Structure 1
Amino acid sequence: MRDVLFKSIWRSAALGSVAILLNGCGIMSWFHSSPGPKTPPPLSKGEKQVSFSTQWQARLYGLWPIHPYQGTDIAHQGRQIVVSDASGHLVSLNDAGRQQWIRSLVGKSARGATIAHGVVYTGTTAGEVFAFDAKNGHKLWSVQLTSEVLTPVVFADDHLLLQTVNGHLWALDPKDGKVQWTFSMNQPSLILRAVSTPTVHDGVVYAGFADGTLAALSLSTGAELWHARVAIAHGSNELARMVDVAARPIVADGQVFAAAYQGNLAAYTLQSGSQNWSVPMSVYLTPVWFKNHLFVAEADGVIAEIDPGSGSVLWRNTRLKGHAMTGLSSCGDDLLATDNGGYLYAFNPKSGHRIGQTRLSSSGIQSSPVCLANHQILALSDAGTLYRIKLAKR
Structure 2
Amino acid sequence: MNTLADQSTFRPRGLARLLALGLLAGSLAGCSTVSSWFGGDGKPRLKDLGPNPGLMAVQQVWTARLGTEVLPATDVHVQGDTVLIAARDGSVTALDARTGAQLSRFAAGEPLTAGVGGDAERQAVLTRSNQLMVYAEGRQLWKQQLPAAAYTPPLVAGGRVFVLAADRSLTAFDAANGRKLWTAQRPGEPLVLRQPGVLLAVGNTLVAGLSGRMVGVDPDSGSVRWEASLASPRGTNDVERLVDLVGRVSREGDNVCARAFQASVGCVDTRNASVRWTQPSKGAEGIDGDGEALFGAESNGTVQAWRRADGARLWSVEQLQHRRLTAPLLLGRSVVFGDDYGVVHLLSKTDGQALARLKTDDSGVASAPVSAANTLVVVSRSGTVYGFRPD
Note closer, same or farther for the CA distance 1:249–1:76 as it changes in structure 2 (3 Å cut). closer
User: Match for residue 174 of structure 1?
Assistant: 175
**CA contact 1:37–1:341 (8 Å) conserved in 2:** no
Checking the alignment, whether the CA contact within 8 Å between 1:207 and 1:248 is kept in structure 2 is no
User: Superposed, which structure 2 residues align to 1:135-214 within 5 Å?
Assistant: 137-209=138-210, 211-214=211-214
Is the contact made by 1:56 and 1:97 (CA closer than 8 Å) also made in structure 2? Answer: yes
Amino acid at match of 2:127: T
- Tell me the amino acid that sits aligned with residue 52 of structure 1: V
Instruction: Give CA deviations for 1:372-391 in whole Å, capped at 9, x if unaligned.
Output: 233x2111101111111123
Residue 387 of structure 2 corresponds to: 388
Amino acid aligned to 2:251: V
How far residue 285 of structure 1 moved from its aligned partner, in angstroms, is 2.4
Who is 1:42 aligned against?
Answer: 49
Structure 2: where are the runs of 5+ without partners?
Answer: 17-42
CA distance, structure 1, for counterparts of residue 129 and residue 109 of structure 2? 6
Deviations 1:93-143 (A, max 9, x none): 344334444333154223321341232222222221222223xx1222222
Per the alignment, do residues 103 and 260 of structure 1 end up closer, same or farther by CA in structure 2, a change over 3 Å counting? same
Q: Distance in 1 between matches of 2:46 and 2:249?
A: 31
User: What TM-score does the superposition give when structure 2 sets the normalisation length?
Assistant: 0.84
Instruction: Give the counterpart of 2:6 among 26, 36, 48.
Output: 26
Q: Is the 8 A contact 2:287 2:327 kept in 1?
A: no
Amino acid corresponding to residue 30 of structure 1 in structure 2: F
Q: 2:112 aligns with which of 99, 103, 109?
A: 109
SS in structure 1 at match of 2:362 = coil
1:82/1:92 contact within 8 Å kept:
yes
Deviations 1:53-108 (A, max 9, x none): 22121222223353xxxx12223334543211112222233443344443331542
Partner of 2:92: 90
- The higher-RCO structure (CA 8 Å, 6+ apart) is 2
Task: Report the equivalent of 1:74.
Answer: 76
For 1:320 and 1:258, the matched residues in 2 are separated by 22
The one of 131, 136, 158 equivalent to 2:134 is 131
The 1:101–1:123 alpha-carbon spacing in structure 2 relative to 1, beyond 3 Å, is same
User: 1:128-172: CA deviations, max 9, x gaps?
Assistant: 1222223xx122222222121211121222222221111111222
Give the length in aligned residue pairs: 362
Distance 1:124 1:157, change over 3 A: same
Structure-2 change in CA distance of 1:180 and 1:89 (3 Å): same
Percent identical among aligned pairs is 21
RMSD: 2.4
CA contact (8 A) 2:306 2:315 kept: yes
- Give the CA deviation at 1:330: 2.1
Q: Any idea what SS the aligned residue of 1:50 has?
A: coil
The aligned amino acid for 1:42 is L
1:327, 1:366 within 8 Å by CA — same for their partners in 2?
Answer: no
The residue number in structure 1 matching 2:301 is: 301
Q: Aligned pair in 2 of structure 1 residues 59, 386: CA closer, same or farther (>3 Å)?
A: same
